[in-house]
Amino acid sequence: MQRTLITGGAGFIGSHLAETLLVQGQHVVVIDDLSTGRLENIAALIGQPNFQFVNETIHTESVMDRLVSECDVIYHLAAAVGVELIIKDPVRTIETNLLGTEVVLRLARRYQRKVLLASTSEVYGKSDDLPFREESDRVMGATTKSRWSYAESKAMDEFLALAYHKQLNVPIVICRFFNTVGPRQTGTYGMVIPRLVKQAVNDLPLTVYGDGLQTRCFCNVKDTVRAVVTLSQEPRAVGQIFNVGSSDEITILELAQRIVQQAHSRSEIKLIPYDQAYEAGFEDMRRRVPSTEKIKAAIGWQPTIPLEQTLNEVIAQFRSPA
């Protein structure tokens, strides 16, 4: 039986991943300090014979040493995420993302374990060379703008992972997640869909930032999890970076309109300037679209779940009593 360690496994993507691996018959250990992860995300898994939850930070090296030694593969998802959290707490963002990954990679080297590293489309920054390919140049803003610290911390994670692979032969695979959505995602740290859906089901105004004409591509978490699990089993993926996301592009304004319509909401849509939504001088990216050619060629993956279905799933979650 394969033994899997998921750092950040009580988070949104991690909890879906844990569920899938358990269904596949794997033994799953989750380590999470519940800083942004939530116990309720894994409540249905606790008590299952092949599941173990460790409530601890990944910086506690003695615990991590034992967990890494006992597993076959590590999915490293623990990180500070969410634009709002990053702006509010840049120290935590940078330290969690840099120091946590350093611990994971060092231990993976000690025990020669495979690491699937969760990275992000933020690493492309505000480049307008679309669609973003894994080898594309990156365009970052000034270091005085906190948003970019997230992109840079995850880019350093990538550099470090690639270096451990090249120099020390650690088997690593890097997944650059584009906007990922589905049940259990919280709007607390800024993510747009849970925020707008919550507003819509409560008939409150939908807060669309800027002119609403910025675009994103949203991928259902079930498709994302399938991509990551398949990549973990593909020997040729080792040492490589893959975009994981949908290329179905939508403006945030249209997204808000669809949410109002699908939720049968009476909400109005309200445009809010970025300076008010985040902080003065905040920089957003206008468009963000992945090239998914590489992952398609490697494992035949492409997203299958349409946005309409994903929105219905999220609407249902916000309607049901917690």
Quote the CA–CA distance of 90 and 98 in Å, as a whole number.
12
Question: Under rule CB under 6 A, how many of the chain's residues touch ligand UDP?
Answer: 13
Q: Exposed (0-12), middle (13-18) or buried (19+): which is 261, by Cβ within 10 Å?
A: exposed
> Do 154 and 195 meet the contact criterion of CB atoms below 8 Å apart?
no
- Residue 68 near ligand UDP by CB under 6 A: no
Of 61-69, 98-106, 203-211, 233-241, which segment contacts ligand UDP by CB under 6 A? Answer: 203-211
- Residue 283 near ligand UDP by CB under 6 A: no
Residue from the set 172, 208, 269, 314 that interacts with ligand UDP by CB under 6 A: 208
Q: Of the two residues 195 and 222, which places its CB atom closer to ligand UDP in the complex? A: 195
- Residue 214 near ligand UDP by CB under 6 A: yes
Residue from the set 191, 201, 217, 269 that interacts with ligand UDP by CB under 6 A: 191
235 Cβ partners below 8 Å, 6+ apart?
Answer: none
Name all contacts of 58-67 with Cβ < 8 Å and 24+ positions apart: 58/7, 58/8, 58/31, 58/33, 58/100, 58/103, 58/104, 59/99, 59/100, 59/103, 61/103, 61/107, 63/31, 64/31, 64/103, 64/104, 64/107, 65/107, 65/110, 67/5, 67/29, 67/31
Q: Of the two residues 187 and 239, which places its CB atom closer to ligand UDP in the complex? A: 187
- Residue 176 near ligand UDP by CB under 6 A: no
Tokens coding 4: 């899997």
- Residue 148 near ligand UDP by CB under 6 A: no
Q: Does an H or E element contain 117, and which?
A: strand 114-120
Phi-psi sector, 317: left (phi>0), alpha (psi -120 to 50), beta: alpha
Q: Of the two residues 273 and 306, which places its CB atom closer to ligand UDP in the complex? A: 273
Residue from the set 74, 80, 83, 117 that interacts with ligand UDP by CB under 6 A: 83
At closest approach, how far in Å is the CB of 148 from ligand UDP?
12
- Residue 216 near ligand UDP by CB under 6 A: yes
- Residue 165 near ligand UDP by CB under 6 A: no
> Out of 124, 150, 164, 189, which one is annotated catalytic?
150
Q: Of the two residues 228 and 255, which places its CB atom closer to ligand UDP in the complex? A: 255
Residue from the set 190, 245, 290, 303 that interacts with ligand UDP by CB under 6 A: 190
**Which three-class secondary structure state does DSSP give residue 173?**
strand
Of 8-16, 92-100, 134-142, 185-193, which segment contacts ligand UDP by CB under 6 A? Answer: 185-193
> Do 2 and 70 meet the contact criterion of CB atoms below 8 Å apart?
no
Which of the residues 220 through 249 are near ligand UDP (CB under 6 A)? none
Tokens coding 143: 């270091």
Active site residue 111: no
- Residue 307 near ligand UDP by CB under 6 A: no
> Do 48 and 80 meet the contact criterion of CB atoms below 8 Å apart?
no
Neighbours of 197 (CB within 10 A): 26
Of 16-24, 125-133, 209-217, 222-230, which segment contacts ligand UDP by CB under 6 A? Answer: 209-217
- Residue 290 near ligand UDP by CB under 6 A: no
- Residue 124 near ligand UDP by CB under 6 A: no
- Residue 219 near ligand UDP by CB under 6 A: no
φ and ψ of 74, to 5 deg: -120, 130
Tokens coding 60: 């506690």
At closest approach, how far in Å is the CB of 191 from ligand UDP?
4
List helix spans (H) across the chain: 12-23, 61-69, 83-88, 90-111, 147-168, 192-201, 221-232, 252-262, 274-277, 293-299, 307-319
Q: Which residues are the active-site residues?
A: 150
Residues that bind ligand UDP (CB under 6 A): 83, 179, 190-192, 195, 207-209, 214, 216, 252, 284
